[in-house]
Amino acid sequence: MRNSFFGTKGFYVRDKGFFDYKEKGGEHDPIPVPDNAPKPERASKWQRFFKAVRSRNPADLPMSPLDAHHACVHCQIGNIAYRLGRSLEFDPKTEQFKDREANHYLKRNYRKGFEVPNLA
């Protein structure tokens, strides 16, 4: 199984390359990557993570912590909407739903002594 990313002009399959869209049933033509395109680092996510921890250099991270947070929030919002079985309105500034029931899913109930402090 491979990751696929779809755009308006084509799609990308990890370790296979870029392809354009064709009519149904047609073959997909590969889109060549320009020679001057930067090559991605061929390290595992753990190697990149430990490199950033050791260097303490944010530039060694594949993305900023804020970008990672935004990517995860979208998945969580989708899961909560699925669990509730309806569409939800989310306020990105407060990071809260406009629905009191949905807000209960934003944080779990922790066992006594294992609570996560509310820092913000």
Question: Which amino acid does the sequence have at 111?
Answer: R
- In terms of Cβ atoms closer than 10 Å to its own Cβ (0-12, 13-18, 19+), residue 97 is buried
User: Tens digits of per-residue pLDDT, 48-105?
Assistant: 889 889 999 988 887 888 898 888 998 999 999 999 999 999 998 999 999 899 999 9
Instruction: Indicate yes or no: pTM above 0.75.
Output: no
